[in-house]
C-alpha cells in the first residue's frame, strides 16, 4: 500500500470531483474545506499521511468540531464529505477500509424552511421603478418566485437559457443536471422589460442574463445584498433571502396542487424525501386554518365541576 500525504490525496480527490464527476465550484469548495478540516486535526495529532487511519481518528475530529459548536446537519455533511473522500482513497489503493463509514453525527432537530405567505410574496416581488436596476431586480424577484430557482442557478443563467416565446428557462442544477422550468406570466413580462433595458448596463459580449452596474455577470453576493436592501425598501417584517422565495414557490405550489412529485421535479431534488419537508409546511397551514375555523377547535372544553 502506497503511503500518501493528506495534501496530495486531497488535491487528487478534488481533481477527480472536478473532472470526472463535473461538480460545481461551490460544491468543490465544501469538499475541500471538509477534508482539510480533518487533515488539520490529524496534523495536530501528529498524523501526516493516510496510513494507519482508523475510526478513532474520525470520531476524535468529529468530537472536536462538535465542541466548537458545529451543529448536527453541518457534522453530517462533513462526515459525508469524508466518506466520499475515503471511497476515492480506497479506489486509488491508498487505504483498504473507510474509517468514516460507521461514524454517526449527533442528530439535530430538523428546521422547517422559512416561507412568505402568498400576499407577502406578491408584495415583495412587485417592485416599483423604471430605472434599469429596478427593472433588473424586479425580473430577478419574479423569476425566483415564479420558477423556484436556487441562487447559483439564477446566477449562472445566460441569455440563451431563456425562451420567453415558450415561457421556459433552462437551468443547470446540482450535479450539473439540466432541467427546463416554466416561467409564469408576471415573470415573463418582467423579464421582457429587463431584456429591453439590459443593453444599458451589459458589456459587449457578456452572455449573462443578469448583470451588475459594471456590466458583468451579477454575483451571488450581489444578489444577496440586493435582497437585504429590498427587504427594507419593500417594508418586509424581516430580512428576505433568495432561498426564501424558492421555499415559498414550493410551499404555495404544493398547497394548491398537492402533487409532491411535480414539485420535486421543478425543484430539481434528487430524492423525494428532500421535497417532503414542504408537506410539513402545508400541514402547519392546514392546522392554523382548522384552529381558526372549526367550532370544536376554537374553544377549550370547560372541565370545571358543575
Check pLDDT > 60 for residue 286: no
Tell me, yes or no, if 299 is annotated catalytic: no
If one compares 127 and 71, the residue with the highest pLDDT of the two is 127
Catalytic residue among 83, 179, 243, 285: 243
Mean pLDDT of 290-300: 51
Structure pTM?
Answer: 0.61
Q: How many CB atoms lie within 10 A of CB 191?
A: 26
pLDDT tens for 96-137 read 889 998 888 877 666 666 888 888 999 999 999 999 999 999
Check pLDDT > 90 for residue 222: yes
pLDDT of amino acid 296: 44
What's the farthest any 2 CA atoms get from each other in the chain?
A: 84
pLDDT of amino acid 288: 55
What are the two backbone dihedrals, phi and then psi, of residue 243, each rounded to the nearest 5 degrees?
Answer: -65, -20
Catalytic residue among 30, 73, 174, 285: 174
Tell me, yes or no, if 16 is annotated catalytic: no
Q: Mean pLDDT check: name the lowest of 146-160, 221-235, 238-252, 276-290.
A: 276-290
pLDDT tens for 239-276 read 999 988 988 888 888 777 777 788 788 887 777 766 66
pLDDT tens for 53-68 read 889 999 999 999 988 8
What grid cell was written down for 216?
458583468
Question: Which residues, at least 6 apart from 70, have a Cβ–Cβ distance to it below 8 Å?
Answer: 78
Catalytic residue among 57, 136, 138, 150: 150
Catalytic residue among 31, 217, 247, 278: 278
Tell me, yes or no, if 174 is annotated catalytic: yes
pLDDT of amino acid 292: 60
Helix (H, G, I), strand (E, B) or coil at 184: coil
For every residue of 88-125, DSSP letters joined together read HHHHTTS-SS-TTTT--PPP-PPPPPP---HHHHHHHH
Check pLDDT > 70 for residue 180: yes
Catalytic residue among 57, 198, 246, 252: 246
Q: Are 116 and 248 in contact (CB under 8 A)?
A: yes
Catalytic residue among 83, 123, 179, 269: 269
Check pLDDT > 70 for residue 281: no
Q: Are 265 and 179 in contact (CB under 8 A)?
A: yes
Check pLDDT > 70 for residue 294: no
Q: Mean pLDDT check: name the lowest of 65-74, 188-197, 255-264.
A: 255-264
Amino acid at each position: 500500500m502506497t503511503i500518501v500525504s493528506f495534501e496530495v490525496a486531497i488535491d487528487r480527490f478534488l481533481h477527480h470531483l472536478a473532472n470526472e464527476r463535473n461538480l460545481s465550484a461551490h460544491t468543490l469548495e465544501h469538499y475541500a474545506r471538509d477534508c482539510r478540516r480533518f487533515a488539520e486535526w490529524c496534523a495536530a495529532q501528529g498524523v501526516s499521511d493516510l496510513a494507519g487511519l482508523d475510526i478513532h481518528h474520525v470520531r476524535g475530529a468529529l468530537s472536536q468540531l462538535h465542541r466548537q459548536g458545529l451543529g448536527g446537519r453541518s457534522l453530517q455533511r462533513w462526515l459525508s464529505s469524508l466518506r466520499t473522500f475515503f471511497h476515492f482513497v480506497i479506489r486509488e489503493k491508498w487505504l483498504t477500509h473507510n474509517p468514516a463509514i460507521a461514524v454517526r453525527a449527533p442528530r439535530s432537530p430538523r428546521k422547517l424552511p422559512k416561507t412568505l405567505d402568498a400576499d407577502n410574496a406578491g408584495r415583495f416581488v412587485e417592485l416599483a421603478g423604471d430605472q434599469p436596476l429596478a427593472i433588473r431586480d424586479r425580473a430577478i424577484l419574479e423569476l425566483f418566485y415564479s420558477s423556484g430557482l436556487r441562487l447559483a442557478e439564477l446566477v449562472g443563467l445566460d441569455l440563451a437559457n431563456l425562451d420567453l416565446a415558450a415561457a421556459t428557462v433552462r437551468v443547470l442544477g446540482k450535479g450539473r443536471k439540466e432541467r427546463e422550468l416554466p416561467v409564469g406570466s408576471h415573470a415573463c413580462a418582467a423579464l421582457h422589460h429587463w431584456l429591453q433595458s439590459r443593453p444599458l448596463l451589459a458589456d459587449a459580449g457578456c452572455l449573462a442574463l443578469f448583470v451588475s452596474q459594471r456590466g458583468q455577470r451579477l454575483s451571488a453576493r450581489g444578489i444577496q445584498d440586493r435582497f437585504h436592501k429590498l427587504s427594507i425598501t419593500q417594508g418586509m417584517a424581516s430580512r428576505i433571502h433568495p432561498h426564501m422565495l424558492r421555499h415559498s414557490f414550493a410551499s404555495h405550489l404544493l398547497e394548491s396542487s398537492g402533487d409532491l412529485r411535480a414539485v420535486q421535479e421543478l425543484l430539481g431534488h434528487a430524492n423525494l424525501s428532500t421535497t417532503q419537508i414542504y408537506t410539513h409546511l402545508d400541514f402547519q397551514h392546514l392546522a392554523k386554518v382548522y384552529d381558526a375555523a372549526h367550532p370544536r377547535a376554537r374553544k377549550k372544553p370547560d372541565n370545571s365541576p358543575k
